[in-house]
Structure 1
Amino acid sequence: MSEFLANMYPWTKSLHIIAVLTWMAGLFYLPRIFVYHTEKVTPGHETDALFQVMEMKLYRYIMNPSIIAVWVFGLALVLTPNVVYWDSIWPYTKGACVIAMTWFHMWLGARRKDFIAGRNTRTGRTFRMMNEVPTLLMLVIVFSVVVKF
């Protein structure tokens, strides 16, 4: 198995990067849609339904498949020989941030359900502030993986 993973390493790493890019696009964009949904749309209006469709398609068809691929290819990389050195700090900081990013993904899904139920209580300001979460986590992840501290 480890020989197979070693031979597939360039493909696994490439697919992991592609999945991360598509997932991050959704993590950046969905909170921004929530800002406009909160500030510009009246619940129950036809525009409300339009926003809900946009949010659902982004979450279900882009973000969910991407997070699955990120985890599958990421775990494959972890299991590939000589990729992760557990005596360093970086795998732990990256792992913690990926778990936090996964929590953020689930938080966004819960907020989407709030809009569907007509019970969103968050403000546009809250969604603007939460929109910074994936950026901060991404910075830690990238520096962890590239600098390998």
Structure 2
Amino acid sequence: MTGTTTRPAPAPAALRLKLGDGPSRKAALDGAWWPRTTDAQAELPLLLQALAGLRGEITHVLLGTTEWDLPHPRRLLLGRTAPRLGWYTSQPAGLVTIMTEFGRDRFDLLVVPPDATPAAADTALAAATDAYDKTARAELADPVTDGAG
């Protein structure tokens, strides 16, 4: 007699997102996000669900074309909404911008590369949420990408 082992489905991976204390146009960034892959279609739903309602309904997401795998869809179905995805060569590297309804507010998030080391990612996540840290986005991303591999 052979037995069958049923294994529970793996739990969904936790979102690696750190936000600052609140919306502030004084800070360079609102926080940082460390996706697990460069597949935007797989990574964005969990991020957008976490941000939904914090500053209004999410309507647009602006992404850099070179940092994300193809295809680059124009919309992302997310429950009862379908935010538009804009893919731009001019979007600064290491940045995702998430716009809310009627341009009322936005989130500017540092994107930590998926292959960053945990130590480098933790440093970038902490620096990106420090309202008093005026380090430019590019400078925050440099140690992360230098330490990746």
TM over 0.5: no
Structure number with the higher strand fraction is 2
Q: Rg: which structure is higher?
A: 1
Structure number with the higher helix fraction is 1
